[in-house]
Chains A and B, each alone.
Chain A
Amino acid sequence: MSNGYRRNRWLLIACGVVIGGSLACSSRAPSDRARAVTVKGSDTMVILGQRFAEIYMQKHPGAVIQVTGGGSGTGIAALINGTTDIAQSSRPIKPEEAERVKAKFGVEVIETPVALDGLAVYVHESNPVEELSLAQLKAIYTGRVTNWKEVGGPDLPIVLYSRENNSGTYVYFKEHVLENADFAPATQTLPGTAAVINAVAKDPKAIGYGGIAYGRGIKALKVKKDATAPGIAPTVENVLSGRYPISRQLYFYTVGKPNNPVARDFIRWVLSPEGQAVVKDVGYYPLPEEKRQEVARHWERDS
């Protein structure tokens, strides 16, 4: 009799330990990590963010900035949950995400572009095709064009490579090249631009896309805005001038202006000419000077 009671009690305690432990973990407040600024989000931007943090911390001893990846959506989710100060994102925030921030904190989310990135379209280096228009890219990726000879190449089927649908790169390509049409079901998705490049480099029938910063060792196509426009190569000058048709902004998102003065100062520094020089080092494109001044002005005042 008493044995049965004891057994039950132990079961209760064991369950209690597990439940209590999991609660304690989930309710750990971010304010415990005193003054450390956390930056989380886009995998495309993680190297950029780490370089920002490294150089900023060298110049400001005592400041601690932690940068982690996970993906644009992960960063924004962390912002909504209050577990990061700054979310890095390679896509604009979705309206429903911005609403959740507003609902939770009562403050508007602030969008700060910090750099430009261009998406390159790659083919195997033996592929004779040199340029494609946006309409041709759309036709290829939606599965209407399935053979290279239809776009001026050899008589070979086209093998499509894409990023996973969780990446900002995927969303950007879908919105700006596919105009929100669905990818062909045969599109193979790979984790990371490096994996896409690896696959394209091994397959003469392949086409893939990804950041220009990664684009080494395979052939990047020139892209035409429409059938009659000239083909534009994905180079620094063409992205900066806005002539290259597939370029995008990379963002920091914050809940209002962060209370943490280090976070505010860090963002100000990223928008300074010194911070923008880092962007170039990493292989992305700094904001055009006019745009930079406009965004930086927004952060000059503290309120």
Chain B
Amino acid sequence: MRRGARGDDRQRLWADRWARRIILALSLTAIATIILIFIFIFREALPILTDPTIQQEASLRHLFHPMGGPDLASRYMWQPIALVPKYSLVPLILGTLKTTLVALLIAAPLAIAAALYTSEFAPARIREAIKPAIELLAGIPSVVLGFFALIVMATWMQQLFGFETRLNAITAGAALALALIPIIYTVSEDALNAVPHSLREASLALGATRWQTATRVVLPAASPGIFASLVLGFGRAVGETMIVLMASGNAAITSWRFTDSVRTLAATIAAELGEVVFGSPHYHVLFFIGALLFVVTFIVNSVGIYIIHRVQHRLRGGL
């Protein structure tokens, strides 16, 4: 009897070990995929730094230094299909920052206020309705948001604000905000919920109102988590492609005006990579942009996730 039981155990152990191996292999596949993509992108971007024939047309100097020209817009130009190709990344970086800033300025107050409301004030029934609704927003494909912005939002906003150009940084940023709200909301809400109840109870017991408790106790306690939500939102905004491709006008203008059309880094890759001559300087510049985006979003997301972990750890371990 004991021997039989041991045989059973051995069989179970064997199945267990194999299941563990298969799951390990699958999870390693995910890591291997990321590493391979990383290697591929950087290998294709490398000639910008190393290959002299590519560098004649597109070296770091071409990508970042000003060219001769009377005004800002003509000193930094992105005109890759031209007799003398111009590969300045400055208008693209500026465009990306402009749309990202607008998107964060719109999305952050809305999402954080919504998170504060659902976690501190809303009755359970309303919370159960708001939370899934906002999270549903994350499920809308970005191409649909982009199309909505291109056809509907752009016209509304032009009529409302009287923009000279219909598609511009503000329109694209507003559309982008729709994609950021669920990210910022979800992470902020988690951060607010992670604040221990003892803090709220202590505050209320000392005679503070719910509003005072929410704004002066809970919100500061959750602030690192809320900061992390903004960082993750920033990462998404920088890398988001389809919405800005459709709603930004895609004109690479170097200017500080938010009512001008903009062209972002991600949209440039999406628009041009399909047609570029394989192995040309233009091709390698596009991969260089890809590597740049990869590094920026990687750092930003890592920082965001690191902060979230630290906050959770701290709140769990007490203050």
Residues of A bordering B, CB below 8 Å: 7, 10-11, 13-15, 17-19, 22, 70-74, 77, 80, 94, 96-97, 157, 159, 164-167, 170-171, 174, 180, 182-183, 185-191, 195, 198-199, 202-203, 205
The interface residues of chain A lying within 8 Å CB-to-CB of B164 are 157, 159, 205
Contact A186-B260, Cβ < 8 Å, known A14-B25, A14-B28: yes
18 A-B pairs with C-beta separation under 8 A: A19-B32, A19-B36, A70-B274, A71-B275, A72-B275, A80-B278, A164-B271, A174-B81, A182-B79, A182-B82, A186-B165, A189-B250, A191-B245, A191-B246, A195-B150, A202-B155, A202-B166, A203-B166
Complex Cα–Cα for A157 and B259 (A): 14
Closest Cβ of chain B to A197, distance in Å, is 13
Closest Cβ of chain B to A95, distance in Å, is 11
CB nearest to B279 among chain A residues: A100
- Known interface pairs A77-B278, A97-B277; 5 further A-B residue pairs with C-beta atoms within 8 A, sorted by A's residue number: A10-B24, A14-B32, A159-B166, A165-B271, A186-B251
Complex Cα–Cα for A203 and B21 (A): 61
> Is B251's CB under 8 angstroms from A189's CB?
yes
Q: Is B73 an interface residue (CB 8 A)?
A: yes
Q: Is B174 an interface residue (CB 8 A)?
A: no
Q: Is B74 an interface residue (CB 8 A)?
A: yes
The interface residues of chain A lying within 8 Å CB-to-CB of B271 are 164-166, 189, 191
Q: B64-102 CB contact bits vs A (8 Å, 1 = yes)?
A: 000000000110010111110010000100000000000
CB nearest to A11 among chain B residues: B28
8 A Cβ contacts from B222-273 to A: 245-246, 249-254, 260-261, 263, 271-272
The interface residues of chain A lying within 8 Å CB-to-CB of B167 are 188, 199
The interface residues of chain B lying within 8 Å CB-to-CB of A10 are 21, 24-25, 28
Option from B32, B74, B79, B246 in Cβ contact (under 8 Å) with A15:
B32
> Is A185's CB under 8 angstroms from B81's CB?
no
CB nearest to B251 among chain A residues: A188
The interface residues of chain A lying within 8 Å CB-to-CB of B79 are 182-183
Top 8 nearest A-B pairs (CB, nearest first) are A166-B275, A73-B275, A14-B28, A188-B249, A189-B250, A165-B81, A18-B32, A188-B251
The interface residues of chain A lying within 8 Å CB-to-CB of B251 are 185-189
Residues of B bordering A, CB below 8 Å: 21, 24-25, 28-29, 32-33, 36, 73-74, 77, 79-83, 86, 91, 150-151, 154-155, 164-167, 245-246, 249-254, 260-261, 263, 271-272, 274-278
Option from B165, B250, B272 in Cβ contact (under 8 Å) with A190:
B250
Closest Cβ of chain B to A208, distance in Å, is 12
> Is A13's CB under 8 angstroms from B25's CB?
yes
Contact A167-B260, Cβ < 8 Å, known A11-B28, A182-B82: no
The interface residues of chain B lying within 8 Å CB-to-CB of A205 are 164
> Is B276's CB under 8 angstroms from A73's CB?
yes
> Is A73's CB under 8 angstroms from B277's CB?
yes
The interface residues of chain A lying within 8 Å CB-to-CB of B274 are 70-71, 73-74, 166
Complex Cα–Cα for A164 and B56 (A): 25
The interface residues of chain B lying within 8 Å CB-to-CB of A72 are 275
Complex Cα–Cα for A22 and B252 (A): 35
The interface residues of chain B lying within 8 Å CB-to-CB of A191 are 245-246, 271
> Is B36's CB under 8 angstroms from A180's CB?
no
CB nearest to A75 among chain B residues: B275
The interface residues of chain B lying within 8 Å CB-to-CB of A195 are 150
Closest Cβ of chain B to A164, distance in Å, is 5
The interface residues of chain B lying within 8 Å CB-to-CB of A11 are 28
Closest Cβ of chain A to B153, distance in Å, is 12
> Is B77's CB under 8 angstroms from A166's CB?
no
Contact A164-B272, Cβ < 8 Å, known A157-B164, A159-B164, A185-B254: yes
The interface residues of chain B lying within 8 Å CB-to-CB of A18 are 29, 32-33, 36
Closest Cβ of chain B to A71, distance in Å, is 5
The interface residues of chain B lying within 8 Å CB-to-CB of A202 are 154-155, 166
The interface residues of chain B lying within 8 Å CB-to-CB of A80 are 278
The interface residues of chain B lying within 8 Å CB-to-CB of A199 are 166-167
> Is B253's CB under 8 angstroms from A185's CB?
yes
Closest Cβ of chain B to A105, distance in Å, is 16
Complex Cα–Cα for A146 and B276 (A): 30
Contact A185-B252, Cβ < 8 Å, known A10-B21, A180-B82, A191-B271: yes
> Is B82's CB under 8 angstroms from A166's CB?
no
CB nearest to B260 among chain A residues: A186
Complex Cα–Cα for A185 and B271 (A): 16
Closest Cβ of chain B to A7, distance in Å, is 8
